[in-house]
Chains A and B, each alone.
Chain A
């Protein structure tokens, strides 16, 4: 069992409980109340630790080695998965998986980053860091889905696009850029869920959904906290401060109106109970696909382009009353959402209270 440093008090108590339970004492009257008391204590502790997670702890949870990955969700909530391989250009990137499946009575194309579980499979999956071939495979599958009118579901979980020599040689930047433009124009619904790490362009490269959701304990940012620390603090040791400064949690992105909702995880994180986590993802996907499938191809495209055109925060100084130099309120492009064809403003989000 893998656990994180801040989970240590919980793990120690759980250990104590199991030790007590294993004791062969016939007089249950002594032991049972004690075990019950400890169990309650564990739950209280877990609830209190997990209701006050720091940004860095969320990053740790998003990277938890037991966390469900794309294929875990696929096998938990979809049927008849047929994996499709290759970019028809150079190779089959193992860090991005994709294929056709049935999902709650409909056909879908599911595409996501994939990490490995042990040393061997982690290496095989390149730690979830795609090469250009991965982005080109993803685009090929999206175009196939478009051709046959199949909605696209994408799951993001990457520490970043692979910064390697061959990746540059084969045009990492070009592959991501092309995906962004083509996703904008795609004539079928795209729903995106951040299921783990959402690191920068490597994540966005398959993540331009009509609707975008984040699971409760995930992060999404322009750069990883470690790299941010090394660049801005000139030192690798400020990752916790960087995580806080980057405002990379699901709650932050909800406030910044970059995502449409937060998907709740079981207490202690998605890795504690795959079935519960997967069910929450399934419910959100059903709701989103129901909504988006009512839109025409042209509406879907326009909806996506309008959604991303509004993002950002800036100040429009031409709108300030004359004579005032400073202090005008910032016009945030993204706050003026409302009359999009789908009514994305009305999205019922599973936001954590």
Chain B
């Protein structure tokens, strides 16, 4: 028995008051709060710390395509459960849940449109859908984007955001690394430009296939980019990892990125790069 007792019943312990949805947003990097409108106007980048909030494929489409106009492709390609996979949940139920929660059909969306007047095809991954994992649909849709770029001679941009290959499709997921790389090989031979943009996080089979194969590999600041995840590496080598290990800045320093670009400058930098490359740069 404790020496104190509650005198009144029905006292409800208040949980810390939740932020009213959609007005003030807390910045994880600093703990400060910022008005949602200010964030939206700045592409979800905190103007003080430069922290990049995660955003989805639709947001990137709005950000990069002129007037937010684009034609989606590959929406007819939908996931199935080829192995009848089940762990604590079935893969089927995970798919349905993710589809309901995100309104997406799988972890990548592909669209064609114009970026500062230049026709491009853009594939953008979405971490919210089963950790942005790459299964057959992701591989096939990215394959479609690559084919479209090659057949029409227009530049390809892929924005990655993924925990790696999707375990629930086992070896079929693994083969998507081979598929996307094989198709990129053809694009490479056709001399069509390909920019790979890595965002937080880009790891595993996605990094070890199309994300590292850009003519230009670029990243948002502070993103986690690597092959093995930091937890596994720490377990394997049995010591702590250096500060900033596997961040965009670390990869730039070790020679794996061409440059780091803030999200609010991305459209400008990428279109400038492509226009110089394609001899279309004026002013």
- Chain A residues engaging chain B, CB cutoff 8 angstroms: 161-165, 167-174, 176-178, 180-182, 184-185, 200-201, 204-205, 208, 220-223, 227-228, 231-233, 238, 241-242, 245-248, 252-253, 256, 258, 304-305, 308-309, 311-319, 330, 332-333
Contacts and interface: CB of A to CB of B under 8 A. Distances in A.
B88 A167 contact: no
B19 interface: no
B137 interface: yes
A314 B170 contact: no
A163 B228 contact: yes
Contacts of A205: 208
A170 to B, nearest CB: 8
B221 interface: no
Interface of B: 76-80, 82-83, 85-88, 135-137, 139-140, 143, 165-167, 169-179, 181-186, 188-189, 204-205, 207-213, 226-228, 232-233, 236-237, 241-242, 245-246, 254-256
A222 B143 contact: no
Nearest to B209: A177
Given A172-B228, A246-B170, A305 B186 contact: yes
B245 A165 contact: yes
Contacts of B135: 312
A201 B166 CA distance: 13
Nearest to A200: B174
A322 to B, nearest CB: 13
Given A177-B211, A178-B212, A242-B87, A222 B179 contact: no
A180 B207 contact: no
B208 A222 contact: no
Contacts of A180: 177-178, 181-182, 208-209
Contacts of A314: 77-80, 136-137, 140
A-B pairs, 4 with minimum CB distance: A312-B136, A163-B228, A180-B181, A313-B82
Nearest to B254: A169
Contacts of B139: 311-312
Contacts of B170: 221-223, 246-248
B88 to A, nearest CB: 6
A141 B208 CA distance: 20
Contacts of A167: 227-228
A163 B232 contact: yes
A162 B237 CA distance: 10
A231 B235 CA distance: 14
Contact of B256 (A171, A184, A246, A332): A171
A313 B172 contact: yes
Contacts of A305: 182-183, 185-186
Nearest to A234: B88
A245 B85 contact: yes
A125 to B, nearest CB: 16
A143 B232 CA distance: 33
Contacts of B246: 168
Contact of A233 (B87, B178, B186): B87
Nearest to B106: A314
Contact of A163 (B78, B205, B210, B233): B233
